[in-house]
Amino acid sequence: MIRTDYSPGIINIDRAERIMTISTDKDVHFTGAIGLNQIEYEDIPGLVTNKITIRGVNIQAKEAMLYTLWFWKSATHASSDLNEDSYRDFVNLDVATSGKRIAGSGQWYLQSSNLCILYEDDDPPTAEGYYTLHLGLMVSAGSGKSAGSNGELQLDITYSPRL
């Protein structure tokens, strides 16, 4: 005899999450020239918690090249001392190969989705109670990113808070 219990019980929800976005500002972040294999660091406050899962990165850029977006767990960023280095992960954003333009002109667009980067900010919260996303942008191929308005770019990082 087979017994089947149809009473209400535990419901397993595969993944219920709140997706949020934190963005860079083209006039404030990554405004300098970046040479080949060089990196520029930015600290972007605004995370609601210090533990998040990064789900995607969208980039709009005036220059099409291979960018590498690095994630660091503190404002110390890279360090030659391996105990102090705060490397967490990186994402290649190959705008030169996979980027799109509308009508063949204007800025380049690229989306990198389906990411699952477990990120944790080790620094204390800001005075307003927010945590910080510590980023580094590197040019991994191409002639290098221009400074100022010729090299403008903007990033949207989608994430979900986690426990």
Domain borders along the chain are 30-161
Mean pLDDT of the chain: 89
pLDDT over 60 (residue 4): no
Average pLDDT over residues 9-30: 78
pLDDT over 90 (residue 135): yes
Average pLDDT over residues 5-13: 46
Position 76 scores a pLDDT of 86
CATH of domain 30-161: 2.60.120
* AA letter at 141: A
pLDDT over 60 (residue 3): no
pLDDT over 70 (residue 115): yes
Maximum Cα interatomic distance, the chain, rounded to a whole number of Å = 75
Rounded Cα distance between 82 and 104, Å, is 44
Per-residue confidence band for 85, with pLDDT thresholds at 50, 70 and 90: confident
pLDDT > 70 fraction of the chain, expressed in percent and rounded? 90
Residue with more model confidence, 9 or 25: 25
Average pLDDT over residues 79-107: 90
pLDDT over 80 (residue 83): no
- SS3 labels along the chain: CCCCCCCCCCCCCCCCCCCEEEECCCCCCCCCCECECCEEEEEEEEECCCEEEEEEEEEEECCCCEEEEEEECCCCCCCCCCCCCCEEEEEEEEHHHHCEEECCEEEEEEEECCCCEEEECCCCCCCCCCEEEEEEEEEEECCCECCHHHHCEEEEEEEEECC
What confidence tens digit (pLDDT) does each residue in 41-80 have? 999 999 999 999 999 999 999 999 999 999 999 888 888 8
pLDDT over 60 (residue 7): no
Global pTM value: 0.87
